Amino acid sequence: MFNALVNIFKIEDLRKRVLFTLALITVFRIGAFIPIPGVDGKALASYFDVLREGTVVGFLNLFTGGAFNNFSIFALGIMPYISASIIIQLLTIVIPYLEKLSKEGEMGRKKITQFTRYGTVLLASIQSIGLSFWMRNIQAPGGVQVVFMSGIWFTILATITLTTGTIFLMWIGEQITQRGIGNGISLIIFAGIVARIPGDIYQTLRHFIEGIYNPFQLTVFIIIVILVVPAVVIMLQGQRRIPVQYAKRVVGRKIYGGQSTHIPLQINPAGVIPVIFASSILAFPTTLTTFLGGENPNPFLNTIANLFKSEGIVYSILYAGLIIFFVYFYTAVIFNPQDVADNMRKYGGFVPGIRPGKPTADYIEKILSRILFVGAIFLALIALLPHLLTHWLEITTFYFGGTSLLIMVGVDLDTMKQVESYLLMRHYEGFIKKAKLQGRI
């Protein structure tokens, strides 16, 4: 590992890319602490201290690396861009024009990217206006108004600042992808999540020293971390390979085909998207009752909020069920077995023992549904892990598992693949010597 890190800085092009990426991530982290003018920082901090757990606020704060808690210029983070990307991806399936663009190669992808940018600006503007109105109406526990600027001017200022901040983060992500080590948007989210870890470790150790956590709790927690992280890596890298044989074709004096290959079916092709969807849906009831009624909403809203508390059994069951549903739904949207079977038959490919056409599509769909079940159950367990640790071990200072763990491991693997490709291209040894990363040459 140490030799691989040294090799990174031996290659001039790779060294420049790594330093460029680190510089832009540093800019992102600095911006997370620059508040919007007109906001009382102390009053805002005291308000968030008493805000209920499991709300959209906590969800946004996770993806922005604490920027939302500070109501900084990057308070929206990169989430509007991610939301716009998901919406455009879903619309590509139902709108023929977008579907046609997605099949036009590089020019089509550029147009879809442009539509995604427009959607990002629209979503960021709407969210900024909504947040500004909400900020104007909240008060700290002592009755101190969080916003001390005139209403309409604060709305205009906050909308322009937050929207511009999201666009700037989108630009940073694209620059990291083009001139850095790749995966720019993912690295921004990764940096925000990782930035919370040192503080969480410090709080956990402090609680242990003060006797709040006993040695048994800390030992079990460390064992869970050691076991869960490799399991997540295995599941993210795991795939079922369906063998494919291509028949030989004679074209003129040349013979084409005849080779054997495979169709890689990932255990969890939807990635972390199902967890994000499920978290967003279940966070809205608690958030709505918090914003509308404060600590004493009407009985009906209070009952709904209690049912959807993150530590409740109802929440856990609904959370797991929604994750499993979205795994199948999102996979059905992005992967069509019939298209795969038609393309195979078009180029003379077939699965040994399976007839081309619809039987091949049915065979692929059958295998996909089986491996998706395993991936969905595992994804639900990882998503529920923070709630289990909080409820059973009573460790509340370290948020381990769920969306943050999946994103950190996934982005780390993708980044390692990018760096590996540069090292191997220049005949340097990479990070992994015995085992191979998926896709490594």
Q: Estimate the share of the chain in helix, then strand, then coil, as percent rounded to the nearest 5.
A: 70, 5, 25
* 229 and 190 together in one domain: no
Q: What is the pLDDT of residues 242-276, one digit of tens each?
A: 888 877 666 666 666 567 788 888 888 887 788 87
Average the pLDDT over 186-203 and give the result: 84
Q: Which range of residues forms the domain containing residue 48?
A: 1-194
* pLDDT tens-digit readout, 350-389: 888 888 888 888 999 999 999 999 999 998 888 888 777 7
Residue 406 lies in a domain: no
Residues 182 and 234 in one domain: no
Instruction: Say if residue 127 is in the same domain as residue 272.
Output: no
Q: Which pLDDT band, with edges at 50, 70 and 90, does 152 fall under?
A: confident
Say whether both 10 and 158 belong to one domain. yes
**43 shares its domain with 159:** yes
- What's the whole-number mean pLDDT along residues 302-314? 66
List Cβ neighbours of 71 (8 Å cut-off, separation of 6 or more).
35, 36, 39, 44, 135
Give the Cα separation of 40 and 263 in Å (integer).
56
As a whole number of angstroms, the distance between CA 327 and CA 368 comes to 11
Closest CA to 360 of 339, 391, 386: 339
- Pairing between β-strand 260-266 and β-strand 349-350 as defined by DSSP bridges: unpaired
pLDDT value of residue 25: 92
Q: Is the pLDDT of residue 61 over 50?
A: yes
Looking at the structure, tell me whether residues 282 and 333 fall in a common domain.
yes
Is residue 64 situated within a structural domain? yes
Whether residues 12 and 142 fall in one domain:
yes
- With tokens 């901090």, the residue in question is 45
Q: 134 lies in a domain? A: yes
Q: Both 38 and 105 in a single domain?
A: yes
pTM of the model: 0.78
Residue 58 CB partners (closer than 8 Å, separation 6+): 51, 283
**DSSP-assigned beta bridge partners for residue 251:** 254
Per-residue pLDDT averaged across 106-122, rounded? 89
C-alpha torsion angle, residues 257, 244, 335, 119 (rounded to 10): -40
One domain for residues 272 and 341? yes
What is the C-alpha separation between 88 and 94, in angstroms, rounded?
10
Half-sphere exposure of 280 (CA within 13 A, CB side): 11
Nearest Cα to 438, choosing from 241, 215, 247, 259?
241
- Mean pLDDT, rounded, for 174-186: 87
What pLDDT does 148 receive? 81
Total count of domains within the chain: 2
Q: Is the pLDDT of residue 75 over 80?
A: yes
Q: 398, 414, 432: which is the final residue of a domain?
A: 398
Can you tell me the distance from the alpha carbon of 240 to that of 219, in angstroms, rounded to the nearest whole number? 35
Amino acid making up residue 14:
L
Kindly state whether residues 22 and 93 are assigned to the same domain.
yes
CA distance 25 to 193: 12
Give pLDDT, residue 254: 66
Do residues 171 and 28 make contact, with C-beta atoms less than 8 angstroms apart?
Answer: no
Q: Which residue's structure tokens are 């508390």?
A: 309
Give the pLDDT of residue 350: 84
CATH number at residue 257: 1.10.3370.10
Kindly state whether residue 152 falls inside one of the protein's structural domains: yes
